[in-house]
Structure 1
Amino acid sequence: MPRGARLGVDVGKARVGLAACDPDGLVATPVATVPRVLDATGAGSADVRRIADEARERSAAVVYVGLPRHLSGAEGAATVDARAFAMRLAVAVAPVPVRMVDERMSTVTATSQLRAAGRTSKSHRPVIDQAAAVIILQSALDAERSAGARAGELVEPPPT
């Protein structure tokens, strides 16, 4: 596996959680919660720009975006939204690859971990998206180590 920082992105309706890891891909850590721009259609929206800036600053080797599926594996409205966001992000960060990874239960797991740490629902709202992004990224890192290859499905931006 080539060295390089990786970013993890949890796409929500109101916020986007962002996590990053070291160049060796050992440990995912929270970075930021970015306000979501819902009516955006291009790669120039403030949320996508913020993540693209972070990718450039960290010289990211790959960006992992969570793919929210139903427990059955079926895709729904949230999946369509995440795929559209990932496509806009892929255009903004090219040539850095964007890959979608299964994120079933990431927010539930993040909420559970924050509760176990003694945070109330109200106090963890600002960081829940970051915690979910950490879980998404750490899962991708673990998959990379076990498979010896990048995790998830590649998002192919349209040709320019």
Structure 2
Amino acid sequence: MRVLALDYGSARCGCAVSDPTGTLATPIEHIERPGTRKGLVRVADLAREREVGRIVVGLPLGLSGHDTDQTRETRVWADKLRDRVTPIPVELYDERFTTRIASRSGPPAQTRTSEDSRAAAVLLEDWLARHGSERA
């Protein structure tokens, strides 16, 4: 089953998708302004085009583990996405440190846009490692 990971931000949403076996996470093109109607439709279309069986949305908890304004915005957006992609399950997953790890993983010349999708790939790699036995 393919899994789509999303690193939501109001300006752009980083995206990564797994291979069908759920082993590899590959960053793909980001989506601009995902919070708009058009952006949300594009995310839903991407999920269907890639034939994903699950969507994992990075949850930006504060360092203390508590909700922040961005956490609350992400929860609202994930609920809207859930309504658009039913019956594909949408799951929130702690994304603390994924952007920092992603920024260290690529060459310095890479753009911010690729960093968003690399962060989604880091998130997806972690999710796949933790949920490997549950996917089957």
Say yes or no: does 1:12 pair with 2:1.
no
Match of 2:134 in 1: 149
Secondary structure of residue in 1 paired with 2:10: coil
Match of 2:44 in 1: 52
Report how far residue 85 of structure 1 moved.
1.1
TM-score with structure 2 length normalisation?
0.92
Structure with more helix by fraction:
2
Report how far residue 35 of structure 1 moved.
0.7
- Report the structure number with the largest CA radius of gyration: 1
> 5+ unaligned residues in a row in structure 1: which ranges?
151-160
Amino acid paired to 1:34? I
Q: How does 1:29-68 map to 2 (within 5 A)?
A: 29-38=26-35, 40=36, 45-68=37-60
CA distance in 2, matches of 1:14, 1:91: 21
Secondary structure of residue in 2 paired with 1:31: strand
Match of 1:81 in 2: 73
**Runs of 4 or more above 4 Å deviation:** none
Match of 2:125 in 1: 138
Say yes or no: does 1:26 pair with 2:23.
yes
CA distance in 2, matches of 1:138, 1:46: 28
Q: Which residue of 112, 115, 121 maps to 2:104?
A: 112
CA distance in 2, matches of 1:8, 1:138: 9
Amino acid paired to 2:55? V
> 5+ unaligned residues in a row in structure 2: which ranges?
none
Q: CA RMSD in A?
A: 1.4
CA distance in 1, matches of 2:11, 2:46: 19
**Could you report, residue by residue, the CA deviation over 1:81-117 in whole angstroms, capped at 9, with x for unpaired residues?**
1111111111111000000000001111111212xxx
Report how far residue 37 of structure 1 moved.
4.6
Q: How does 1:86-101 map to 2 (within 5 A)?
A: 86-101=78-93
